Structure 1
Amino acid sequence: MNVQGFSHVTINVSDLNHSLSFYLDVLKMRLVHRGRKDAYLEWGSAWICLQERPEKAKQREQLGVDHVAFYIDEKDFDKAVKQLQENNVEIVRGPIKRGLGWSVNFLDLDGTQLELHTSTLAERMKVWQ
């Protein structure tokens, strides 16, 4: 599996407006896209997605990081998916085309959701705007 680096983190938050003030004003991230229930922010070459999930607030352990995504070149994607399948890794979504790239979400042995993703934030924004 030829993973080339970190792609993004998606974080569940109970109140998007409240969280945005922290990420924008305190951490000085740059807002790239604001949706009804999500926001995409950039911080150097890293990017994150905040997704409003108030129903998770009752289950405190569900706030915070939703999944961790790693960038992988599209030419290596199918081979990586096959490797996951051959090792009986639990795939929870995909492989699917998301925006201009491909994604597959899967669980590690402790149930942490990970993703292999083939596109950049700029490519994702082309389909969101």
Structure 2
Amino acid sequence: MGLRGVHHIAIIGSDYSRSRHFYSEILGLPILHEVYREARDSWKCDLDAGNAQIELFSFPTPPARPSRPEACGLRHLSFMVADLDAEVARLTDHGVECEPIRVDEYTGQRFTFFADPDGLPLELYEDG
């Protein structure tokens, strides 16, 4: 098949301004490109997530997607970080609630979960 990696992850936010602020200002993902698509009444913002991009979309009145209890499909999006404690402290300073830090029983790496403004489960996974 020739897959070489993940190009992008697409996320639809219920409130584009709030989601854009969360991903670009709180998580610190640089904005690569942003465009308003008038025919779809939709914004699209490409964010640099390191080895991939996040495409942040807005659409008028998108339906809610269940994330709890865990539903079939994409479970969560995970970001690698060098210093988990520092990132949890930074998110907490921005009012983002993080779950208690846990240790992956198979890799021994530390991780935690938090949510974006729409409740999408996100993970920080300590690299190293």
- TM-score interval, normalised by the smaller of the two chains: 0.3 to 0.5
What is the TM-score of this pair, normalised by structure 1? 0.43
Q: Which one has the bigger helix percentage?
A: 1
Tell me which of the two structures has the higher relative contact order, counting C-alpha pairs closer than 8 angstroms and 6 or more residues apart. 1
Q: Which one has the bigger strand percentage?
A: 1
